[in-house]
Amino acid sequence: MIGAGVFAALAPAAAAAGSGLLVSLGLAAVVAYCNASSSARLAARYPASGGTYVYGRERLGPFWGYLAGWTFVVGKTASCAAMALTVGLYAWPEHAHVVAVAAVAALTAVDYFGVRKSALLTRIIVAVVLLVLAAVVVACLTSSPLRLSAGADPTATGLLQGAGLLFFAFAGYARIATLGEEVRDPARTIPRAVPLALGITLVVYTAVAVAVLSALGPGLADSTAPLADAVAPELGPVVRAGAAVAALGSLLALILGVSRTTLAMARDRHLPRGLAAVHPRFQVPHRAELAVGAVVAVVAAFADLRAAIGFSSFGVLLYYAVANASAWTLPGRRLARIVPAVGLVGCLALAFALPGPSIAAGAGVVALGIIVYAVRAQLARRAGSPGAPS
């Protein structure tokens, strides 16, 4: 979670929420907490890799599992593009799209040859990012008077839209759940790890948001690299380097995750069967990785960062809506259903409060996925296939 999102999402959220930016951050955290709690309960019951793609299928039926997988692939592909653009905007803003495409190509090649981001490298990246964020907070709060306004007075729609955009920065807590079968004692570990990670992240993000607001005020909404713009010029290169490291680390993990979900869906014939091929030497889904890399590179070459964040948030919020609906069906006390119910309503509210173009593009791609599923189901029924989707 503590990665590139905080370097990219504050500016578009400030443009939407105005002086209510911190309220939007709180709303995003509440929805993220509900999603995390639902994911943790489901992961403890179904400790298998795949996340909501598995939970939706097991609790709600094959279509809902497919829909979760489709929205995950769509949303996270946009996330990859947003991470690549974050690298470009912080590393070389005058040629952000060129840098973004180069980053995608390089990391797709790294994934193709079976290179993984090790636990040690992950710790190093997180440590670097935390040091950079701490430097930003100290620099801003010691050089600027405390102020929490980012412009106009907030509206209800603006607060929800800001929360939907900030939700992008919280994505990542489900990684523990999606790797459920690789976690030691998942029934005990996952329900503890997910809320703890979310709480730490919220504290860090709140401190960064307060610091950047104090430094930039209404100017935050128009910034393309807000954390770098918030500090003194001599500290700017350090912040830009930290943002690039964070974004590259996130991008490497995202390409790996999206390609594996693509592999799983191809094996279940929800996507072209050829994408399920595994390289005989490197033991990676090389066709899925190349396909994901190609799509991300095209999006990164032409998309706007804010549009990519909005589109990504729409897909991922629908993904977690399925997770909350799945958790709502779990047996237990009625009180246990409150959290998934709040999460489901929250996900849908934030998704449909996003900017209109993000909703239109996201809904169009989701509708395309549903049409593909329906056509496949119809063809399978005509062929009398016993494994036809339902």
| pLDDT tens-place values along the chain, 390 residues long | 887 889 999 999 999 999 999 999 999 999 999 998 898 888 878 877 677 888 999 999 999 999 999 999 999 999 999 999 999 999 999 999 999 999 999 999 988 887 666 567 778 888 999 999 999 999 999 998 887 776 778 899 999 999 999 999 988 776 665 555 456 676 677 677 777 888 899 999 999 999 999 999 999 999 999 999 999 999 999 999 999 999 998 898 888 888 888 888 888 888 899 999 999 988 889 999 999 999 999 999 999 999 999 999 999 999 999 999 999 999 988 878 999 999 999 999 999 999 999 999 999 999 999 999 999 888 888 887 544 454
| pLDDT value for 183 | 60
Residue 184 gets the label, from left (phi > 0), alpha (psi -120 to 50) or beta, of beta
Tell me, which fold does domain 5-383 have in CATH? Amino acid/polyamine transporter I (1.20.1740)
Structure tokens at 23: 């309220």
| pLDDT value for 270 | 87
Task: Give, in degrees to the nearest 5, the angle at Cα 126 between 169 and 71.
Answer: 35
Under DSSP, the state recorded for 239 is H
| pLDDT value for 387 | 47
Separation CA 311–CA 244 (nearest Å): 22
Structure tokens at 1: 């979670």
Structure tokens at 352: 């449909």
Q: Which amino acid is at 253?
A: A
Sorted by where each begins, the domain ranges of the chain are 5-383
Under DSSP, the state recorded for 280 is T
Per-residue pLDDT tens over the stretch 216-253: 999 999 999 999 999 999 999 999 999 999 999 889 88
Which three-class secondary structure state does DSSP give residue 146? coil
Virtual torsion, Cα 162, 166, 168, 170, nearest 10 deg = -150
Structure tokens at 134: 């701490």
Which three-class secondary structure state does DSSP give residue 120? helix
Using only C-alpha atoms, what is the Rg of the chain?
20
Residue with tokens 């994408």: 275
Q: What is the pTM of this model?
A: 0.91
Among residues 297, 342, 299, the alpha carbon closest in space to that of 323 is found at 342
Which alpha helices (DSSP H) does 223-336 contain, by range? Answer: 226-230, 236-267, 286-302, 305-328
Separation CA 328–CA 203 (nearest Å): 28
Per-residue pLDDT tens over the stretch 133-183: 999 999 999 998 887 776 778 899 999 999 999 999 988 776 665 555 456
Which three-class secondary structure state does DSSP give residue 174? coil
8 Å CB contact between 150 and 21: yes
Task: State whether the Cα torsion 320-324-329-332 is positive or negative.
Answer: positive
Residue 365 gets the label, from left (phi > 0), alpha (psi -120 to 50) or beta, of alpha
Separation CA 313–CA 161 (nearest Å): 10
